[in-house]
């Protein structure tokens, strides 16, 4: 579907539905590559793994206390939709993006 085809449908939405559409689009743009999201009211609004309630600060704290990548992947097997090879390469985000 092209933007030109989508435009009449978007314009016909209620104001509430338009706001929801904008929120969906903004979230998809903001979190395209990092796999993180922040949502008010979910894990205190802190950064978390996309689509989960696994807080980034919790993972960072576990790592600080000595947890290995293997232990973290066993404790937090999400993202479950990734192939095994990608799960093994899953790393904690760098502090600057938190």
The model carries a pTM of: 0.48
CATH code, residues 39-91: 1.10.10.10
pLDDT score for 30: 61
pLDDT score for 93: 52
pLDDT score for 87: 45
pLDDT score for 9: 93
| Residue numbers in the chain where pLDDT is lower than 70 | 29-34, 78-98
Q: What angle do CA 83, 53, 35 make, to 5 degrees?
A: 45
SS3 category, 44: helix
The pair phi, psi for residue 64, each rounded to 5°, is -60, -35
Q: What angle do CA 15, 18, 22 make, to 5 degrees?
A: 140
Contacts of 95 (CB under 8 A, 6+ apart): 60
pLDDT score for 80: 47
Domain-wise residue ranges, the chain? 39-91
Contacts of 34 (CB under 8 A, 6+ apart): 93, 97
């Amino acid at each position: 579907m092209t933007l030109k085809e989508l435009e009449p449908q978007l314009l016909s939405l209620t104001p509430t539905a338009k706001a929801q559409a904008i929120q969906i689009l903004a979230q998809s743009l903001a979190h395209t590559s990092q796999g993180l999201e922040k949502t008010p009211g979910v894990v205190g609004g802190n950064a978390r793994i996309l689509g989960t309630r696994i807080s980034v600060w919790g993972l960072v704290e576990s790592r600080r206390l000595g947890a290995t990548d293997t232990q973290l992947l066993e404790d937090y097997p999400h993202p479950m939709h990734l192939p095994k090879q990608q799960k093994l390469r899953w790393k904690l985000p760098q502090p600057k993006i938190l």
